[in-house]
Amino acid sequence: MFKTKITEILGIKYPIVGGTMMWITTPEFTSAISNAGGLGVLASAIYQSREAFADALDRTHDLTDKPFAVNLNLFPMMRPIDNNDYLDILIEKDIKVVETSGHSAPQELCTRFKEAGLIWIHKCVGLRYALKVQDMGADIITVVGYENGGATGKLDTGTLVLVPLIAESVNVPLIGGGGVSDGRGFLAILALGAHGVIIGTRLLATQEAPVHENLKHALLRASELDTMLIMRSIGATHRVWANAAAKKCAELEAGRAELAEILKIVGGEKAKIMYEKGNLDAGIISCGQVVGMANDIPTVKELFDRIIAQAGDIANNIWTG
C-alpha cells in the first residue's frame, strides 16, 4: 500500500523522507531512517573538511544498504561552504540522490547534478520557486507549509494551500510536508496531490535521534504554541522551538543587529551543545507546530510502521464508511 512515484524513483519502502537537520541527520540517524523504510538525508554541512565528509558517507554506507540522500545547504552560514567540493566527494562515493535546500540552487551545481546522473530533489516554500527549479531540471520537488519546522521562507503559505497549488502546477513528482506527525497527516498530504511526505519535527522524539534526553522530553511537553519565527531579518526565516536562545535572536533582530551577531546565537555549534549536553537554552532547534502532537519516543521503524498502518485504516474507513 502507498506505492507512489516517490517510492518507485527512490527505491524506498514508504513514501517518507526524513527532514535534513544540522548536527542531527548524521550517518547513524540517516541510516536509521533509511532502514525503517524511508529516505534518510545526510546533512553535508555538519562536516568541515572533504575528508570528514567522505568518512561520513562511508559510515552511512556501512550502516545501511538502503537508499539515502545527501543535502547540500544553500542557506547563509558562519562557515561558508563551497558545495562543489562536497559534490566532488558525493559523486566519487557513488551517491545517487542529492537534495538542495535554501536559496536557489546555482546553475553550475544543477548542471553537475545532471552530468553525474544524480536524482536531484529541491526543497522550497513557494510556487514560483518550484516552477523555477523544475525549469532548471529538478527531478523531484519538496514543498513545506508555513507550520513546518526549519525554513519557512517569507510567503507564509500553509500546507493545505501550498501542496495542492504546487501539485497541480508542476510536472515532476512532489513531496509535501509541514505539520505531519502521524497517519492522518501522511494521508492528508497524499490526498492533497503529493507523491510523498517529509517529516522532521516528529523524528526528534525518536529513540535514535542523536539529541539529549532532556531535549526529547522537553519537546514532548511542548504545545503547538511553543514555536516562533526568527531570522526573517536576514532573509532566512526559520520556525524554531521558543527557548531562551530563540527569544534572544528575536530581540537582536528587533534591534537591527548585524548578521554576524545573529549568527553567534543561531550558529550550529551552539545547537550542538544543546543536543549533546542537554542545556536547553544553549542554541536553537528547528521545530514545527506539530511538536504539540508528539507524546512518546518510539523507534523510527515503530513510528513509520504505525504511520502507514494508521493511514491505511483511515483510507479504508473513508471508502467503507
**269 CB neighbour count, 10 Å cutoff:** 12
> 33, 300 in Cβ contact below 8 A?
yes
pLDDT digits (tens, 9 = 90+) for 122-164: 999 899 999 999 999 999 999 999 999 998 888 899 999 999 9
Which pLDDT band holds residue 236 (cuts at 50, 70, 90)? confident
- Which position has the higher pLDDT, 151 or 43? 43
Q: Which three cell numbers stand for residue 116?
A: 553525474
Q: Which three cell numbers stand for residue 75?
A: 542557506
pLDDT digits (tens, 9 = 90+) for 60-88: 999 999 999 999 988 655 455 688 999 99
Which pLDDT band holds residue 4 (cuts at 50, 70, 90)? very high
> 53, 44 in Cβ contact below 8 A?
yes
Residues near 45 by Cβ (< 8 Å), separated by ≥ 6? 22, 71, 73, 77, 81, 268
Domain ranges of the chain: 5-206+296-315, 213-289
Portion of the chain with pLDDT greater than 90, in percent: 83
**87 CB neighbour count, 10 Å cutoff:** 21
pLDDT of residue 251: 96
* Average pLDDT, rounded, for the chain: 93
Within a 13 Å sphere around the CA of 103, how many CA atoms are in the beta-carbon half?
10
Considering the domain delimited by 5-206+296-315, tell me its CATH architecture.
Alpha-Beta Barrel (3.20)
In the chain, what are the helix, strand and coil shares in percent, each to the nearest 5? 45, 15, 35
Question: In Å, what is the CA distance from 55 to each residue of 26, 38, 50?
Answer: 11, 23, 9
- Across 181-205, average pLDDT: 98
pLDDT of residue 39: 98
